[in-house]
Structure 1
């Protein structure tokens, strides 16, 4: 059976399972089991045990529940309300107003956590109740979180860029530098779309709050100081080298608890509810990660990613047509595999054809990461969609529909990267070195 046929069959099975309403993680496990039993002769039990243990026993997951707990604490204290109350007077004249907090918050937090799941979960836990209470449309609340949550894949430090750098034998430092300008461009594009949408749909935005003089805005901004101090402390501890991401996450939890106690909003009930909420959210994310890891392993055994890459190589396309074909290929693969697995399973076949076409491997790394970001919000297995499904209380198809405009914004970013490759190469070349 051809790789295309196998891929279509697995996609159909997954879509059918998701449409039936069963848990996402269970659907991923079921498709993995089906792929192993139907298309391979490898021992299913061994593959399941190995992939399951590898997915849940990774030290890199340690910051995730801590960052989620920090978000739960902030959500249950006055601090999240203070953050929005302090920002509202400053963003009141900008089209889209507090929706921009999602984009900026995800951009900042992405540089702290390095995880799109942790970014979407933490910022979403704080912002969804606040924005709903103020009357912002659900579709834009969810869309801004889904799109901006992917920034953790591009804004340094990025795990997927490290994996790509090792696979392509490129300098990790140069790759990190190359991701800075495209990351800032994405933040600008997301904010630009939010502003444009707000201008085109003024009736769907909540009434603007009264414009305040500068003195009053500065007075309201004092409420931002505790949250900003917490964020700066967490980020600073990582970039100064005082703490690892896991230690910084623990510092964030301790700081959130102290600030919550200082505002007299920390009670035994709020502590217990926050801890249980973080436990439920973290278990949901890790369960889905485990299912995705097993599906990734099963896809590797079937050979579908490798066979599709070899099929594209055999077409002998021009550089521009090759990039278009690879973009479609990586989006499809990213619907079923996590970003790191896409890189690991395909670079050995893809990179030689990219080099033969005369495409800069440094630029291609940034191009690849933006494509993988698109796959994070693409059904049926866009991971950010599942995270937000649990937070927003909407089904996966409603979440995907809300995320569609931001998928198109990411597509625009890919086009801009192709037209202006200097966005990714100028800064590393300017700074020099390997």
Structure 2
């Protein structure tokens, strides 16, 4: 395979994606083009076999269930209770209610698995309240943009499931591996907000009247339903009682039960949640199918071998390889969503990563963290699109407010490289 062929295929893929055509169908079309003109294989048979294999995995059934669980919660009053439960505890912390974005996103991420759903849900609750209380828009929106990415890192994470399926890594181990980095990111973001508040005390509104411990505990009762659901879903996985798919089913049952108990479960909300989850999963499934077929086509024409040979020929150290891959994923994130990035690149990069001696569970967290960065980089930063819908602000402004948190994600990436046990300690106990 020569450089002209590679350039032609890459140009074709970029052109189709840039046209605004559906990503899944774009991938299928370019793959069919490559198979038809550059190999001797039968396109129809290969396409049918690959699409069926990529979408019929039992492991993948956890994905639509977690999506449905998030949609149920999104349509209930449980999400609004998060703010009511957190506010009294943050009154004396530098930055005060700005931390509601970080903590709220961290809690909701643990039951949604989606960055966009986390950003949208918490944003609908916190942004109007913060604006009403006089907090600056820049830091309120920027912290939400950054913290919304927790939906990818804190399990159950949809992109972790996709990575695990693509690399044949245990979903349970990957979920466990995301716990400490997720808490680390929450601590880093909250630390930054404290420093910002101490440097700009005049921009932080006065807090509410002090509350007694009894009043704080009374407000904290609003957190109990969501925290109970987290314990049910994540605890079942960590203790080995249930697989990821079974835990997802428990999460759906639990969220339906909670929504029914607090009176927000109606036939209309049930149908809307189920329909929304189906739409998102069909989009993801089509992307997975297209990416699987494109991966097969690239394998037949030899692209993975060429890429692996090129990167291997650079004789990079593991550190420089990771730096190169970080830059590669950030650039790719300017054009593709996170799931497409993972399924498109894993088959190509996996041999090189394994040859460098990098643990695949650790690499999964690395990939998720880099994809988190891509969520807040224009022009295809999904969190920026969500925030644009919430705030009616322009994407360049939103990207500028999120820039400090992009830097914090880079710093967190450096920490997990220097201290890999932050990722591997908990999976090693399983």
Q: TM-score range by the shorter chain?
A: 0.7 to 0.9
Conserved? CA contact 1:152–1:158, under 8 Å: no
Residue 213 of structure 1 corresponds to which residue in structure 2? Answer: 211
Residue 279 of structure 2 corresponds to which residue in structure 1? Answer: 280
Q: Distance in 2 between matches of 1:338 and 1:381?
A: 14
- What is the SS of the residue equivalent to 1:300? helix
Shift of 1:199: 6.9
Residue 260 of structure 2 corresponds to which residue in structure 1? Answer: 261
**What is the TM-score when the length of structure 1 is the normalising length?**
0.73
- What is the SS of the residue equivalent to 2:264? coil
Query: Does 2:122 match 1:127?
Result: yes
Shift of 1:370: 0.7
Shift of 1:79: 1.3
**What is the TM-score when the length of structure 2 is the normalising length?**
0.73
Shift of 1:151: 4.5
Query: Which string of whole-angstrom CA distances, capped at 9 and with x for unpartnered residues, describes residues 291-340 of structure 1?
Result: 33333333333332321221122233456545544555666788876546
Q: Distance in 2 between matches of 1:30 and 1:379?
A: 26
Structure 2 residue aligned with 1:98, among 97, 100, 109?
A: 100
Q: 1:101 to 1:226 in 2, by over 3 A?
A: same
Residue 144 of structure 1 corresponds to which residue in structure 2? Answer: 147
Shift of 1:52: 1.9
Shift of 1:213: 0.8
Shift of 1:65: 2.2
Q: 1:247 to 1:176 in 2, by over 3 A?
A: closer
Q: Distance in 1 between matches of 2:423 and 2:230?
A: 30
Q: Which runs of 5+ in 1 are unaligned?
A: 356-360
Q: Distance in 2 between matches of 1:18 and 1:380?
A: 19
Cα RMSD of the aligned pairs, angstroms, is: 4.6
- What is the SS of the residue equivalent to 1:47? helix
Conserved? CA contact 1:179–1:424, under 8 Å: no
Conserved? CA contact 2:64–2:278, under 8 Å: yes
- What is the SS of the residue equivalent to 1:243? coil
- What is the SS of the residue equivalent to 1:213? coil
Q: Distance in 1 between matches of 2:166 and 2:90?
A: 38
Q: Distance in 2 between matches of 1:267 and 1:295?
A: 42
- What is the SS of the residue equivalent to 2:411? helix
Query: Does 2:362 match 1:366?
Result: yes
Residue 222 of structure 1 corresponds to which residue in structure 2? Answer: 221
Aligned positions, number: 408
Query: Which string of whole-angstrom CA distances, capped at 9 and with x for unpartnered residues, describes residues 128-170 of structure 1?
Result: 4223443465554344323652455999x9785798697xxxx
Query: Which string of whole-angstrom CA distances, capped at 9 and with x for unpartnered residues, describes residues 229-280 of structure 1?
Result: 2222222233333333223222222222222222222223222322323332
Q: 1:226 to 1:237 in 2, by over 3 A?
A: same
- What is the SS of the residue equivalent to 2:99? coil
Q: Which runs of 5+ in 2 are unaligned?
A: 132-136
Q: Distance in 2 between matches of 1:260 and 1:82?
A: 12
